[in-house]
């Protein structure tokens, strides 16, 4: 594995007085796809928000060796971390194309932009058909595709993606799987928060399982597949 992109050490997070993360350690290598699994309510989304400076947190979060904990969300985004939140995040009155162009940002570390609007339409042909349609009238699945694509237009080096396949039809889940494979091919690092074990095991190189604000398992997809005790205790419902 190459250099560390992200290194989280002893991370605690809070909403007011509720203490949600209790010392999380995790890392993501350059170009690595890492899945973060766990049951609902264990703190996976909170971990993404803590990395992005969106909740009160303590500990350390280093991006390319630089401490980012305590910095503001827009500064963190500018360093090259993209975020696809769990709720679909679009501008409803703007068209699909306008939404994509609004997400466009140059990454100073890339000699040329890694992604074009055309790449997005090739990954999700449905978005091309809806190019001039107001995003607010798209279906839930189409809005999810648009959210995934808008984040890529910012040319991030690392993307935190929170439950991208939640509530989607199997055909769209498969397209999201292809999208993640394309990110891998182009060397983008990913933290994939998922509920669906199959997708996470298929796409990621390493897996974390979170339980009650702690990491309870770290290993390869193969190791998680072989560990029925961890799956029973922390994943299966
Ligand atoms: N805005 C909030 N205010 C207070 N508590 C919250 C808030 N968001 C989440 N929580 C609580 O934090 C815990 C972890 O939530 P979350 O990180 O969303 O879990 P996950 O993403 O793993 O389902 C849950 O107990 C949840 O109720
Ligand atoms: Mg969540």
What is the CATH classification number for the domain harbouring 223?
Answer: 3.40.50.300
Sign, CA torsion 209/41/234/221: negative
User: Could you list which residues have their CB under 5 Å from ion ligand 2?
Assistant: 45
Q: Is the CB of 18 under 6 A from ligand 1?
A: yes
Q: What tokens were used for 116?
A: 């074009």
Name residue 234's beta-bridge partners: none
Report, as ranges of residue numbers, the positions in the chain whose pLDDT lies below 70.
1-2
- Split into its structural domains, the chain has a count of 1
What is the residue with the minimal CA distance to atom 4 of ligand 1?
Answer: 15
Ligand 1 centroid to 142 CA: how many Å?
A: 26
pLDDT value of position 237: 77
Q: What is the pLDDT of residue 195?
A: 86
What is the model's pLDDT at position 7? 98
User: Going by C-beta distance under 8 Å and a sequence separation of 6 or more, which residues neighbour residue 138?
Assistant: 90, 96, 130, 146
Query: Residue 141: which domain range?
Result: 4-234
Burial classification of residue 134, based on how many CB atoms lie within 10 Å of its CB (0-12 exposed, 13-18 middle, 19 or more buried): middle
Tokens of 176: 């999201």
User: Which DSSP helix (H) or strand (E) runs through 13?
Assistant: strand 4-15
Q: Is the CB of 136 under 6 A from ligand 1?
A: no
CA atoms within 13 A on the CB side of 139: 8
pTM for the structure as a whole: 0.96
């Amino acid at each position: 594995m190459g250099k560390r992109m992200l290194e989280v050490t002893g991370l605690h997070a809070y909403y007011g007085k509720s203490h949600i993360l209790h010392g999380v350690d995790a890392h993501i290598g350059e170009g690595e796809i890492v899945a973060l699994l766990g049951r609902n309510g264990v703190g996976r989304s909170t971990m993404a928000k803590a990395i992005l400076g969106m909740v009160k947190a303590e500990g350390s979060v280093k991006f390319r060796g630089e401490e980012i904990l305590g910095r503001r969300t827009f500064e963190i985004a500018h360093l090259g971390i993209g975020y696809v939140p769990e709720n679909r995040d679009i501008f409803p009155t703007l068209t699909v194309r306008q939404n994509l162009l609004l997400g466009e940002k140059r990454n100073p570390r890339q000699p040329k932009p890694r992604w074009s609007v055309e790449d997005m339409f090739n990954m999700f042909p449905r978005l091309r058909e809806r190019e001039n349609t107001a995003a607010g009238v798209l279906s839930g699945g189409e809005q999810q595709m648009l959210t995934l694509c808008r984040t890529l237009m910012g040319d991030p080096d690392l993307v935190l993606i929170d439950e991208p396949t939640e509530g989607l039809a199997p055909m769209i889940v498969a397209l999201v799987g292809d999208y993640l494979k394309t990110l891998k091919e182009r060397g983008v690092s990913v933290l994939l928060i998922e509920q669906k074990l199959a997708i996470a095991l298929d796409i990621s190189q390493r897996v974390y399982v979170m339980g009650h604000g702690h990491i309870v398992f770290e290993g390869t997809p193969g190791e998680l597949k072989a560990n029925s005790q961890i799956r029973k205790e922390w994943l299966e419902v």
